Structure 1
Amino acid sequence: MDAALLHSLLEVNCSLALAEELLLDGWGPPLDPEGPYSYCNTTLDQIGTCWPRSAAGALVERPCPEYFNGVKYNTTRNAYRECLENGTWASKINYSQCEPILDDKQRKYDLHYRVALVVNYLGHCVSVAALVAAFLLFLALRSIRCLRNVIHWNLITTFILRNVMWFLLQLIDHEVHESNEVWCRCITTIFNYFVVTNFFWMFVEGCYLHTAIVMTYSTERLRKWLFLFIGWCIPCPIIIAWAISKLYYENEQCWFGKEPGDLVDYIYQGPIILVLLINFIFLFNIVRILMTKLRASTTSETIQYRKAVKATLVLLPLLGITYMLFFVNPGEDDLSQIVFIYFNSFLQSFQGFFVSVFYCFFNGEVRSAVRKRWHRWQDHHSLRVPVARAMSIPTSPTRISFHSIKQTAAV
């Protein structure tokens, strides 16, 4: 092959070293320049591998990159790409044989990341199981379907959907991530939408308590549609604006991940931070009212208010801290980074479990309704005699729901 012709075919970003290598090796079969689809032109992929002019239908191999993202790779292995019959390169490139060469420190971090990934999968599985159980309880127990529990139900629903989308994100391999497929971008967009709805429904939780306690507004006059609009509808334009910005300014890598200095992700992260700050203000006012005006009161309603605040005080910092960790630099020392990896993995993955426990399984109304439903089922099947029912111990007042604002009617 003529050297001048080969050089003219190589793109600017492909090195002369490749051209010399091809010439020395006498590379490639003779190509028919008259054929409409006889070859694929030289091209450079996103990783930086130069794919030379190749015959249509050929499976081309190139050495793995020496360095990628600061990691050294074994160049004795090869990557593979097919030149299609129509004279275009296949979008999918097989880099599966390329393995990193790790030093002792990198091996240690790789081990911790693998363990953290197991923690993530375990936490999300436990969370999904608990969330689905809580969702089904709220669905089955119609007697407790007041506005407060409807809010809990919607919060749990957002966590179920978010966790499902998280599992779908884990199915995206590196090649799809790099090729930036449309369906991959859609999954990332839907996942981020449910992330935003998580925090907006937590905001609805705080707004409900603040309205009932601080503003002393009758909860019976609150409208369910307003909270549904805040929790489900307001995040829509936020995510749409983010998706449009990603499409025009950062249309790469399935829109997942954030490089230092990129501001597009703050389109949806900003509102999340805002509602977190507002929720902290709500809780500050709620605690202030309870400590001053309601301290001496021992009414059942006051006790229920206090329990509701306790649950929210536990959950809101939990949800807020886990998100704020993404903005915190864990430090340069090894211990800080390892602690950050495990702490963040645990809190992120078990969020749904904690939500289910505090808003459903520890909810006195739910437990009371389940107990009554169980007693009714036993009576119906003649498994519980009337004498035993009469001698049963009544429910203790101390087991009232964390969130019971008003006593719900019995089943």
Structure 2
Amino acid sequence: MSVVRAEISTCYTLSQRNESINDNGCSVSFDKSLCWLKADYGAQVERLCPFTYCPTVLGCEQVASKLLYSHMVTRVCGLTGEWQDSNYSQCITVVDQFPHCIQGFCRVCPDLLRDLVISVSLTLSVVSVALLVAAILLFSVFDSIQEWICKTILWFVIYFQVASVMWMLIEGAYLYSRFTIFAMRHNDAPWSLYTLCGWGVPLIVVIFWTIVHEYKSRQQNSFCWVPYAQGSHLWILAGTMGFALIMNFIFLLGIVIILVQKLRTENSAESKKIWRTIKATMLLVPLLGISNIPLFYEPERPSDVYMLGSAILQHSQGIFIAVLYCFLNSEIQNAVKRQLSKVPIEFFKPRQRFETERTYVPENRNMTKHGMPMEELECVKGNPQESTVNEVCKIFTI
């Protein structure tokens, strides 16, 4: 609230309380700047100048402390009970000499916190305007650039999906080779061929699909190839991935047959053999991606259950493999336990108190009831007085 409004409020409050009338002098009066309270006949009343100093301005704090009570407004109550004109000459002198120290002239007194907030707000406003302009340019002027960015991201998503299925096929082929006659060979696996097939074949397939989809399909003029999962050319991707999964299913059947034949030669119980076969099969299903085969049949109106199951099966293979082949593996669990057992925890155990005592005896070096040879050191754990001869241990020889 400004000084003038505060003075108006004071005079109004006094008038409402019927305290503004003075029978022995001047009554409460407002001179458009200050509210003058009751005064006796002939009295001279002083008030502070109706403005506020800015002490945060350099040098104004000294000016305020020096002139605050020396330069004031005066007004005299006449003998007739009427107020004379207010004398603001001293206040006008302050305004003329130090206008930069008056809040009315410097607008608002400097405030470091307010200046910081204004600076940060201005910076954020500039950044917001820059981002808005960039968004307008990106989404309005350069529509083609935006579309090609979207197509590039979609292309990589499709490529990595095909590559993941191709690597599942390589895993199945390598695992099957370890169970068959190839396991008898001592040469290393063709890792360079595996790498070429794992990354090269998906690249060729996706590039071929991209050319057909971009120039021959009905969705060639659609934004970001949406919907890309339509059209007969989709079988370029689906056929490759389906062939890989079917081959993995064949590899799985071959591995299960080999396991069953091996278990028949063992002398264990039949139920135990069946359980081991089922367990081995279930472990291989997520590794070889067999769980993705049902996803190739998509109903015309897929339900929420189908969409949820599809999302879980497509994107949870890594979690299944980590849980089955890492976290539930007894060898890995034992290795982790061994590493944890090596963690030094002696620091947290309570330390035992040891005391040593050296006894000197004559040079005859014979054990007596008064002591022991000086070459031997008696190690006493706990209270030395409770030790016996059997508790003596020879540590070093002087």
TM-score interval, normalised by the smaller of the two chains: 0.3 to 0.5
Q: Normalized against structure 1, the TM-score is what?
A: 0.42
The structure, 1 or 2, with the larger RCO (C-alpha pairs under 8 Å, 6+ apart) is 1
Q: Normalized against structure 2, the TM-score is what?
A: 0.43
Asked which structure has the greater CA Rg, the reply is 2
